[in-house]
Amino acid sequence: MAAKRFFDTNILIYAFASNDARSARAESLIADGGVIGVQVLNEFTNVTRRKLRWSWEQIEASLSVVEDLFGPVAPLTKVIHTRAVALAQECALSIYDALIVAAAQDAGCAILVSEHLQHGQKFGTLTVTNPFRHEAD
């Protein structure tokens, strides 16, 4: 059985990007299933609105597709927030990255699929995997 994977926001952004070389890889990863959390939805909405300048209609349609692909979204709870604050302090992470890590841990995932965090970095039993790294790295 494959390890349970949690997806960081950048993977979703690439899957929905129209002219990005990483899109096909991101779509393939998502098709294999995994988990996302509320913080991922928040960041996705922020990036698509502010940086990509999507309309609210585009964002809502995309969020509907995300819900269909992933099913229930891991909640953002006070327990996750408290753990994220500790992770941010202990591991020198931004609070936003720490929220993703804490949510992935809370969801029981073994892998965090992210281009943003360091490939191979471990947070307890959670390991970061960058699917876009060069094999020589």
State which residues form the domain around 10: 5-129
Give the confidence band of 137 by pLDDT, cuts at 50, 70, 90: very low
CA 97/CA 117 separation, integer angstroms = 8
Question: Do the domain assignments include residue 135?
Answer: no
Question: Do the domain assignments include residue 136?
Answer: no
pLDDT above 70 as % of the chain: 97
Give the confidence band of 1 by pLDDT, cuts at 50, 70, 90: low
Indicate if the alpha-carbon torsion angle 128, 132, 135, 137 is positive or negative: negative
Question: Do the domain assignments include residue 134?
Answer: no
* Average pLDDT across the chain, whole number: 93
Does the pLDDT at position 7 exceed 80? yes
Question: Do the domain assignments include residue 137?
Answer: no
Asked if 119 contacts 15 with a C-beta cutoff of 8 angstroms, the reply is: no
Question: Do the domain assignments include residue 50?
Answer: yes
CATH number of the domain bearing residue 87: 3.40.50.1010
38-91: per-residue pLDDT in tens?
999 999 999 999 999 999 999 999 999 999 999 899 999 999 999 999 999 999
- H/E segment holding residue 52: none
Does the pLDDT at position 108 exceed 70? yes
Does the pLDDT at position 136 exceed 70? no
- How many domains does the chain divide into? 1
CA 98/CA 83 separation, integer angstroms = 8
State residue 18's pLDDT score.
Answer: 82
